[in-house]
Amino acid sequence: MIYVVPFLILITIVVFIHEYGHYYFAKKYGVGITDFSIGFGKEIFGWNDKLGTRWKICWLPLGGYVKFFGDRNVFSESEQTNVINQYSEKDKNKLFILKPLYQRSIIVAAGPLANFVLAIFIFLIINLIAGKDMTPAVISEVQKDSPAFVAGFKKNDKIISIDNRKVESILEVSTFINISTSENIKFIILRGDQQISLLVKPNVVQSKDSLGNPSKKRMIGIKLAPLNNKFNKRSLGPGKAIYYSVKEVWFVTVTSLSYLGQMLTGATDTSQLGGPIKIAKITGQVSEHGLIPFFSVMAYISISLGLINLFPIPMLDGGHLMFYLFEKVLGKPLSQKTQEIFFRIGLFLLISLMFFVTLKDLKDLNLF
């Protein structure tokens, strides 16, 4: 239960920013907004602003929504005549379904994009306050008969890149090894003044992450240590801080897509996949280590929320954008019946995924 409060704070901020992205551009383009909700279900408390929008917090905090004037949802309705004729000319100007296609697309895409902006902002603040670790990744020990030993690694080798990803910090080595999709990982190391390319086939072992949670890791059998056990933290100016913030968001996005692709093709397992229970647990664990780890996790969750919402699945923002693409190509919206079929499929997929990750979370917690 001690993890609940940090989780609720995190998810409320992330969901609010997502929904505010929709809200901001809807207001910009003159769309009427009746509700701005954090959570689903029965309202806990709320208030009306001077423009008539009901701002509210509801009991089920796993999401939120912005409800547009005259709309059940944010998708285009093809049979619009009966709906439109119910409104006066003044009210018609507030209808989402009558806005140009590009405006509807921007409004829908603004939610996920707001999540990416939030992540960039969080990383930016962290980089400005805490700086960035630039400790060289120098090997202090190569375990005998390990994959690294067999591949030819030696003590004092400096790791330059892993699978063509430049290594700028000792802290990146474990991450790059574990996200590699290759059976044999390509290392570029600096030995003296000579660059050498080495291929290593890692061992996959059952281990625990830094928070004590079970995880599978790819290990090659090396130990890294900073010179004199001192990490090289460098303060960053605004320009470099923005650069590294955008780079981190891009890295997490590409890595997440790569992992999902491997999972769908059977190239990797679902050991790293988690749902709300796992997120709540990790959020609570990192919150015990301070604000920077907590906000770092918030940035990662924000990226995940933005990315998932861009998937072309009906009921998600990406599904609405898919409908708009069809509308652009066909010159008219899909029929209401066709859209409803897609939405039923999307609902089934989302419920199935939620059921799967929840069962997995409970199993990981040894609750059954």
19 labelled catalytic: yes
Amino acid at 279: I
Asked if 69 and 31 touch (Cβ cutoff 8 Å), the reply is yes
| Helix 291-309 with 4-28: angle, nearest 10 deg | 50
Query: Per the residue annotation, which of 19, 77, 248, 327 is the catalytic one?
Result: 19
Q: Which of 219, 251, 45, 65 is nearest to 146 (CA)?
A: 219
- Please return the burial class of 210, using the count of CB atoms within 10 Å of its CB with bins 0-12, 13-18 and 19+: exposed
The Cα–Cα gap between 307 and 310 comes to 5
The Cα–Cα gap between 40 and 48 comes to 18
Structure tokens at 21: 């992205």
Q: Which residues of 309-348 are buried (b: 16+ CB within 10 A; e: fewer)?
A: bbbebbbbbbbbbbbbebbeeeeebbeeeebeebbeebee
Helix extents (H) in the chain = 4-28, 81-84, 89-92, 101-130, 147-151, 172-179, 238-265, 276-287, 291-309, 317-330, 336-364
Cα 301–232–239 angle (5° rounding)? 60
The Cα–Cα gap between 90 and 81 comes to 16
Asked if 275 and 301 touch (Cβ cutoff 8 Å), the reply is no
Using alpha carbons, list the distances in angstroms from residue 352 to 181, 290, 307, 322, 348: 27, 35, 19, 21, 6
Structure tokens at 151: 């591949």
Determine how many CB atoms are found less than 10 A away from the CB of residue 119: 28
The position carrying tokens 């679902």 is: 270
Cα 154–155–160 angle (5° rounding)? 75
What residues are labeled active site? 19
